[in-house]
Copies of this chain bind each other. A is one copy, B any other.
């Protein structure tokens, strides 16, 4: 069956969205739609233009026999601003205040639509870098890690606090948590990463950066390299940070437990040139 252009455009858009950061040969589409390569090229230029105009992402064409087309999810600045504002106003509700000045964020991390957009924003900051793995620590960072991973088309590895039989052989390290100065343990399955991989570390919250720093140390045990850090919310802190190269979307400036007020500002995403 020969496909009409309109049908091809719909199916192609779906296919590209489901296969981000993958080089797809033009022949794949030509065979799939029983259409000439020249028609496919024209289709792709329509897709490309619309993707770029609407802030869906980039469509990169690689010429030659081994070439093809690659969809790179990339948001526009206005989309980042939108999500930062949304997070700020969501997180400012006084009923999020928990004892000790913590904020309740579990509901946001369980909202697939929001998390998906957060993932796309962080993936955008690393769209042109080589990332092999997304690493996070159980439990709360997992949804963000998967959302970034889906847009970058790379696997997620989850560091645990405890050893479990289902992880097989593991590598474990001790590290000092940033704020409480307690010794803690991190465990990661030996099969998780290969030496030489470039790893993007992510988490939902960072204060001094002890957990992030622990993950950084764990990377070294695997002979892997840190490609970057992405945190949803960073907290203002008087002590020196253990990690200084990171992206954050929101910054928690101050929490007043007596007045029950929460002061938030934009994170460093823009000042770091994330977009």
Contact = CB atoms under 8 A, between A and B. Distances in A.
Residues of A in contact with B, size category: 35 or more
A65 interface: no
Interface stretch (A97-105, A217-225, A243-251, A259-267): A97-105
Contact of A192 (B14, B106, B166): B106
Contacts of A9: 6, 9-10, 13
Nearest to A135: B110
A35 B49 CA distance: 19
Contacts of A103: 166
Given A6-B6, A143-B146, A165 B112 contact: no
A215 interface: no
Q: Is the interface of A mostly helix, strand, loop or mixed?
A: helix
Copies assembled: 2
A11 B146 contact: no
A265 to B, nearest CB: 21
A30 interface: no
Contacts of A146: 112, 115, 142-143, 146-147
A87 interface: no
Contacts of A102: 165-166
Interface stretch (A50-58, A124-132, A195-203): A50-58
Contacts of A227: none
B165 A113 contact: no
20 contacts: A6-B46, A7-B50, A10-B13, A10-B50, A14-B17, A17-B17, A18-B116, A98-B168, A99-B165, A104-B167, A104-B168, A105-B166, A106-B166, A107-B155, A107-B192, A110-B149, A110-B158, A112-B153, A139-B139, A139-B142
Given A107-B191, A112-B150, A139-B158, 18 more contacts: A6-B46, A9-B10, A10-B46, A10-B50, A14-B17, A17-B17, A98-B165, A102-B166, A103-B166, A104-B166, A104-B168, A106-B168, A106-B192, A107-B192, A110-B155, A110-B156, A112-B156, A140-B166
